[in-house]
Amino acid sequence: MNDIKLAVLGSEGVGKSALIVRFLTRRFIGEYASLTECIYRKRLTLDGRQLNVELYDPCSQVCAGKSALSDQIHWGDGFLVIYDISDRSSFQAAKNILHLMRETHPGASKRDGEAAAGRPVVLVGNKQDLCHMREVDHEEGQRLAADHRCGFLELSAAEHSQEVALVFSKVVQSVCAGSKAKERRRRPSGSKSMAKLINNVFGKRRKSV
């Protein structure tokens, strides 16, 4: 898989655009146009592989509601679910998104970091620089992530350029690893299928002798 779709989800004003722009440009720009949804594209080289990454930044005012969210969940190969550590209601919204992912893909959440049917999810507590106004404890974030078997970290789009780059790269890496594993499960290995063939031909013959 060389085309990877990442959806950055979360309620209004949690910093989705700020995180994406930070990842794409390494810059923090204070204000972002928020009346349109956007798909950004970036070419990445990871472990010598050229990847085309699409990043979906929904507009919370326009794309609110369960059905829009379901579409976004179906669209993505991997997800960052964002809340603002200084805004409890945004944490509740992140919780709802994770629940919906579980509902959309019952039977998911079995493997670590894969809350949405084998598609990696990381829960991100943004605006860590506002920890003096914190409304959501670090442990609460950790617990929610553990409940949904997804990754978790707190960071600040405003201050942490490297951490932002790292979290996006990790999700991309997990998507690649997941798709390779799926490929392996789909296609039996050469030696196994050859063994099956030999068994089919000679095994039957041996029985009739």
Ligand X SMILES: Nc1nc2c(ncn2[C@@H]2O[C@H](COP(=O)(O)OP(=O)(O)OP(=O)(O)O)[C@@H](O)[C@H]2O)c(=O)[nH]1
- The residues of the shown chain that bind ligand X, judged by CB under 6 A, are 10, 12-18, 30-32, 34, 59-60, 126-127, 129-130, 156-158
Buried b (16+ CB within 10 A) or exposed e, 2-18: eebbbbbbbbeebbbbb
Nearer to ligand X, 12 or 140 (CB): 12
Nearer to ligand X, 23 or 176 (CB): 23
> Considering the complex, what minimum distance in angstroms separates the CB of residue 6 from ligand X?
15
> Considering the complex, what minimum distance in angstroms separates the CB of residue 181 from ligand X?
32
What gap in Å lies between CA 99 and CA 123, rounded to an integer? 13
What gap in Å lies between CA 83 and CA 42, rounded to an integer? 24
> Considering the complex, what minimum distance in angstroms separates the CB of residue 46 from ligand X?
25
Nearer to ligand X, 30 or 106 (CB): 30
Question: Do the beta carbons of residue 55 and residue 77 sit within 8 Å?
Answer: no
Nearer to ligand X, 17 or 109 (CB): 17
Buried b (16+ CB within 10 A) or exposed e, 85-117: bbbeebbebbbebbebbbeebeebbeeebbbbe
Nearer to ligand X, 27 or 205 (CB): 27
- Packed helices 88-104 and 66-75: angle between N→C axes, nearest 10 degrees: 60
Nearer to ligand X, 58 or 178 (CB): 58
> Considering the complex, what minimum distance in angstroms separates the CB of residue 27 from ligand X?
12
What gap in Å lies between CA 139 and CA 105, rounded to an integer? 26
> Considering the complex, what minimum distance in angstroms separates the CB of residue 3 from ligand X?
24
> Considering the complex, what minimum distance in angstroms separates the CB of residue 2 from ligand X?
27
What gap in Å lies between CA 172 and CA 120, rounded to an integer? 9
- The residues near 162 (Cβ < 8 Å, ≥ 6 apart) are none
